[in-house]
Amino acid sequence: MAVLTYRDALTQALREELQRDDRVFLMGEEVAQYNGAYKVSKGLLDEFGPMRIVDTPITELGFAGVGVGAAMVGLRPIVEFMTWNFALLALDEVVNAAAKTFYMSGGQFKMPMVFRGPNGAALQLAAQHSQAWESWLAHIPGLKVLTPGTPADAKGLLKSAIRDDNPVVFLEGEMLYNTKGEVPEGEHIVPIGVAELKREGDHCSVITHGKMVLVAMRVADDLAKEGINIDVVDLRTVRPIDVEAISRSVQKTNRAVVLEEGWEICGMGSQVVDFIQRECFDDLDAPVLRVHQEDVPMPYAKNLERAAKPDAGKTIAAIKKVMYLD
């Protein structure tokens, strides 16, 4: 199997789907001539031309709406946001139009489109550029929200997203683009709504998604040296969420830590904990703990930023606490 970066896995998925279906096109800021702000669309303009790889002005609300209109009449747009922080300007189109049109038209107008781009914090980009939006977006019925954490999932989920007839929010990670992993060639599809047990252990479940999968894997390695073995449940999709996979793991380990990049209040973890208390009430040997960003806007200074982010150390501390080891 080829080893690819997360970035190249995404490019491969885009290329294969653009080749497969001529209704698919990519639009966004700097996606064409510049080859993508993060080079995810590198080479695609040369291969598919300017009608299918479309540079837009800096006009998120405008081009998100263009995507909605094109999808409504049968094209399959992929709308790239340079980052999801900028997509706030376009949320009316994502939430009020893309997510709801199928329902409020009584099933007449489908919305086969993807909104994608990097989500969450990178390094020292400060408060306005360092935010994880999945809990906002997963709140909305009508959207599907995907959060791949590995190159293989990035490719397989992006192909599923493009083929789906619903509006799909696809959250990438700037810090993930250079990470490497084995990626199956050609037709590699990861189904939407199916979690993956990325590491098996009996002592505690760590339920996570997106960029935090890497943190959880590092935690699993570190704790294994101490004889603590954890399940790492990678949700991969946060709407719809794979409740069965969460239950299976927690019913086995009887302890859970929920790890996410975003803030605590109304975060994804709140929802996961709600599922756990409903499905696994009698299985729990300890209260479920959450690890997340501190409840502050992201600071710029290196030391403060490090302190604000969820990390391996905080996760290990939480795991030891639910195991009553600290």
Partner 1 sequence: MSTETKRPVSQKPKDKPAAARNNGADGTEKAQPKEFEGTTPEQRRELLHSMLLQRRFEERCAEAYALGKIGGFCHLYIGQEAISTGVMSMIRPDDYVITAYRDHGQALARGVSPRAVMAELFGRETGCSGGKGGSMHLFDSKTNFLGGHGIVGGHVPIAAGVGFAIKYRRGNQVCVCFFGEAAVNIGAFHEALNLASLWDLPVIFIIENNRYGMGTAISRSTANEDVVIRAKGYRMDGETVDGQDVFAVREVMTRAIERARKEKRPTLIEMKTYRFMGHSMSDAVSGTYRTKDELEENMKRDPIIVLHNKMYEAGELTEGEMRKIDDEAKAIAQDAWDFADASPEPPLEKLYTDVYSDTTS
Pick the closer one to partner 1 by CB: 164 or 174.
Answer: 164
Minimum distance from CB of 91 to partner 1 (Å)?
Answer: 11
Of 75, 197, 243, 286, which one interacts with partner 1 (CB under 8 A)?
A: 75
Question: Residue 46: CB partners within 8 Å, gap ≥ 6?
Answer: none
Determine, following the binding rule CB under 8 A, whether residue 68 of this chain makes contact with partner 1.
yes
Helix (H) or strand (E) holding 289: strand 289-291
Decide if 267 contacts 290 (C-beta within 8 A): yes
Asked if 174 is an active-site residue, the reply is no
Tokens of 218: 């590092």
Determine, following the binding rule CB under 8 A, whether residue 59 of this chain makes contact with partner 1.
yes
Pick the closer one to partner 1 by CB: 163 or 252.
Answer: 163
Tokens of 238: 């946060």
- Whether the CA torsion 64, 67, 72, 77 is positive or negative: it is negative
Minimum distance from CB of 235 to partner 1 (Å)?
Answer: 18
Asked if 60 is an active-site residue, the reply is yes
Question: Residue written as tokens 């501190």?
Answer: 294
Of 43, 109, 214, 304, which one interacts with partner 1 (CB under 8 A)?
A: 109
- Rounded CA separation 292/273 (Å): 13
- Rounded CA separation 316/314 (Å): 6
- Which one from 16, 17, 29, 60 is the annotated catalytic residue? 60
Of 47, 103, 226, 302, which one interacts with partner 1 (CB under 8 A)?
A: 103
Taking CB under 8 A as the binding criterion, the range among 38-46, 70-78, 118-126, 298-306 that sits at the site for partner 1 is 70-78
Of 164, 231, 242, 261, which one interacts with partner 1 (CB under 8 A)?
A: 164
How many chain residues are in contact with partner 1, going by CB under 8 A?
Answer: 47
Q: What is the DSSP string of 207-275?
A: EE-TTHHHHHHHHHHHHHHTT--EEEEE-SEEES--HHHHHHHHHHHS-EEEE-SS-STT-HHHHHHHH
Catalytic residues: 60, 129
Q: Which residues of this chain interact with partner 1, rule CB under 8 A?
A: 21, 23, 25, 51, 56-57, 59, 61-77, 92-93, 96-97, 101-110, 112, 141-142, 144, 160, 163-166
